[in-house]
Structure 1
Amino acid sequence: MFLVPVGRPSSDFSRSIERLFDEHFFDRFAAPAAAERAGRTPALDITETAQAYVVQADLPGVAREDVKVQIEGRRISLSAAVRQDGEAKPGERLLYRERSGGSFARSFTLPVEIDQSASEARLDNGVLTLTLAKRGATTASQLEVH
């Protein structure tokens, strides 16, 4: 049996290697991918009244003209694009960026067909609210977002 004394090296190189493998090292690779997936599928709430379904979706950073809502019978399709501002302005230097541009598409089916002519869509403060009137339309149509 041999005993080898173990001491903590004090060289700058050793400290650099230790810092490289600290807990934050792995977060740099895992966090952006997880955040990107979460950002591409907005949170959705659907409630029902006797006359309509009310759908609320969180769409922060999405402009009204970049939201598309399509109704095909009972199937609702949402799509939107988040525009990424360009590079830093003249005289500025970009130091850190977490926000990214991109788009998403999401569809769901409701139990009853939707009447497109009596339905409405509103985008206020980053929340899309769809009031989808029950019964009716079997043709594909698109709602205008107000």
Structure 2
Amino acid sequence: MFFAPIVRTRAAAPAFRSCDRHFERFVNEALLSSAPFGAKSGFQLEQDDKAWTITLDVPGLAKEDLNIAIEGPVVRIASKAEAKRQFKAAYELPQDIDATTSAAKLENGVLTLTLGKKVPVSNEVQIPIN
């Protein structure tokens, strides 16, 4: 699974996103073929049935210097303007993120985000047959 730090609006056609993801995957596999994804960039992604775990290297930043925002399937991480070091990233996941079950931890310059997967709600309604 591949997640590019490129954020598009929901108005963008899904076909364009698919092409972008295929191209990004091709380029990253070509550049990072000798190491697993993220080994050179300080980014690691793992997932299970209930959550994604994103690990990022952010040396030189304290927890007071970071803002983390979740909007639908997008998580945005940015340092505050007064921080010693500037950092900005956004990641789009394939499913909406449940902010109530998500958590962040910063330890020794490593930011660990545990992002809960939002369970899709079915709007299906059964109607009787007359």
- Regarding TM over 0.5, the answer is yes
Does residue 77 of structure 1 match 2:76?
yes
- TM-score normalized by structure 1? 0.50
Q: Distance in 2 between matches of 1:47 and 1:109?
A: 14
Distance in 1 of aligned mates of 2:58 and 2:48: 23
2:112 is the alignment partner of 1:129: yes
- In structure 2, relative to structure 1, the CA distance for the partners of 1:102 and 1:82 (3 Å cut) is farther
**What is the root-mean-square deviation in Å for CA atoms of aligned residues?**
2.3
Distance in 2, Cα, partners of 1:45 & 1:59 = 13
**Structure 1 unmatched runs, 5+:** 1-41, 85-100, 137-146
Identity of aligned residues (%): 34
Aligned residue for 2:64, secondary structure, equals: helix
What CA deviation, in whole Å up to 9, does each residue of 1:37-95 have, x standing for no partner? xxxxx6211111110000001111101100111100001101125978xxxxxxxxxxx
* Number of aligned positions between the proteins: 80
Aligned to 1:47: 46
CA contact (8 A) 1:63 1:82 kept: no
Counterpart for residue 11 of structure 2: none
